Amino acid sequence: MAVANPTLQVGVRFLAGVYLDMVVRRSVAVPLLLDGSQLLDYLKLERIYRLAKKVVVEYLVQSYNGRSAGCFRVWHEVKETVRRLGLPSAYAQQAVKDAVETYNAWATAGERPPEIRKVSPYTDEMAWRLDSATALSIRLMSGRHIAELWPHKRFWL
């Protein structure tokens, strides 16, 4: 699934001498149509993303002992370990952010240590761009691929 974030400019407000831009975002989950090689490349990306997230969560459980962790500090502590796994940089940073969120949720709840089962590699603006109205250019492990979208009718609303 791909998530598209079209941005719509609503208006401009003036408050205390400063112009404030109001932006409305709408996220839509859209299935991607991947051919055989693209699917294998995506599955490899997902496997390494899961491993990176698991490594970072295990590091946080051992090092932080239930204290909350900040993403910026953790990134500087584990970036070399995560980069050695071979993830593209945008996905590596997202894996660390995802791991920190998982760890902090566990640290506040205080139950069993978190277990990483399913992951969905989140792609930010650095990893994908619209190629056409119904296609994405997406960064995977072996480079950029054009993936056709299969949008639902709600996507066009």
**pLDDT at residue 35 in the model:** 84
**pLDDT at residue 51 in the model:** 92
pLDDT averaged over 10-residue windows placed end to end, the chain, 157 residues? 45 50 60 82 90 90 78 82 86 88 84 82 74 80 81 64
Q: Could you tell me the CA-to-CA distances from 42 to 7, 45, 121, 153 in Å, in that order? A: 26, 5, 9, 26
Written as six digits, the tokens of 137 are 């250019």
Instruction: List the domain boundaries for the chain.
Output: 37-156
**SS3 of residue 128 by DSSP:** strand
- DSSP assignment letter at 151: -
**pLDDT at residue 6 in the model:** 45
**pLDDT at residue 148 in the model:** 80
| pTM flag (> 0.85) | no
**pLDDT at residue 147 in the model:** 79
